[in-house]
């Protein structure tokens, strides 16, 4: 698995949502832009402080989260 070290969580930044390198730019914002058809180049141009590896890690993080499953605990 790709190391995901650019995705940060801080309750004081965007309410603790996963962000990129502690900035006020959430993973969901980047994923939403990609889902809407924006190219990587358009996103990088719109957010000049963003790096290509940040987008890669947003995708890797999303893929990792989809693999997690929450199962309710069995009650007796």
**Residue 74 counted as domain residue:** no
* Element of type H or E holding 40: helix 40-46
**Residue 60 counted as domain residue:** yes
- Domain of 22, in residue numbers: 7-67
**Residue 76 counted as domain residue:** no
This prediction has a pTM of 0.83
pLDDT for 73 equals 79
> Within the chain, how many helices (H) and strands (E) appear?
3, 2
pLDDT in tens, 26-39: 999 999 999 999 99
pLDDT for 70 equals 72
- Note whether 24 and 15 are within 8 A (CB): no
- For residues 49-65, average pLDDT: 95
Residue 58: which CATH number?
1.10.10.10
**Residue 31 counted as domain residue:** yes
Instruction: Name the pLDDT band for 57 (thresholds 50, 70, 90).
Output: very high
Q: What is the CA radius of gyration of the chain?
A: 14
**Residue 11 counted as domain residue:** yes
Instruction: Name the pLDDT band for 52 (thresholds 50, 70, 90).
Output: very high
Backbone angles phi, psi at 35, to 5 degrees: -65, -30
Number of domains forming the structure of the chain: 1
**Residue 2 counted as domain residue:** no
């Amino acid at each position: 698995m790709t190391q995901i070290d650019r995705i940060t969580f801080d309750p004081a930044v965007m309410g603790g949502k996963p962000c990129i390198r502690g900035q006020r730019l959430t993973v969901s914002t980047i994923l939403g832009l990609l889902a809407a058809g924006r190219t990587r180049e358009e996103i990088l141009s719109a957010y000049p402080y963003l790096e290509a590896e940040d987008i890669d890690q947003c995708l890797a993080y999303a893929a990792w989260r989809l693999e997690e499953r929450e199962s309710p605990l069995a009650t007796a």
